Amino acid sequence: MKQILSLIVAFMILSCQGVKIDPAPMSGIIDESDEKTKVVKKLAQAYQDGNFDIAKDYFTEDGVHYFNNVEYTTEGIIEGYNFHSILFDDLKHVEPHITTMYYNNGDVFTNHWSDWSGKSKITGEVQKNTFHCWWQWEGDKIISTKCYLDPTELMEEVALYQSQTAQEN
């Protein structure tokens, strides 16, 4: 029995060795189960459901948001993401990874990366893309977002929609 207890204590000591916590300003803690991550998951689901208006509950009114390098207001980015549901059916984030990073310098960002797909309401074709977004927090509000993806097919879909709308009018 004494040998078993000694082995357990030795294992516990050895398993803790080598763990270093980096105190650098841009190091910190990643959390996949915190409230901020849950909010971004909720926002992602709202986008997929075609109603991103829920973001108004979490974004600051004066937030600065980017789609690639184009800057939008909070209202503008919400309208833009809602427009995707006018263009596409079956919006999906395929195997998303969403975690919140609490940096030692006090910054808090939720990272969201995934593959994306949507079925064109005009052509019926399924488009696929990969994206990465970050959501910057100040307290319990999102003050900024930035999403990067290749917009080529999305812009082609917008052009098809505009052409179809012009023909109908």
The pLDDT-based confidence of 95 (bands split at 50, 70, 90) is: very high
Which pLDDT score is estimated for 16?
A: 54
Handedness of CA 123, 128, 134, 139 (dihedral sign): positive
- Domain locations in the chain as residue ranges: 27-168
Q: Find the mean pLDDT for residues 87-100.
A: 97
Q: Find the mean pLDDT for residues 69-89.
A: 97
Residue 115 reports pLDDT greater than 50: yes
Q: For residue range 48-68, what is the model confidence (pLDDT) as tens digits?
A: 999 999 999 999 999 999 999
For residue 93 the two structure tokens come to: 């984030």
CATH classification code of 27-168 = 3.10.450.50
What DSSP element (H or E) covers 37?
helix 35-48
- Contact 90/102 with Cβ under 8 angstroms? no
- Contact 87/158 with Cβ under 8 angstroms? yes
Phi-psi map region of 18: left, alpha, beta (phi>0 left; psi -120 to 50 alpha): left
The whole-angstrom separation of Cα 73 and Cα 54 is 15
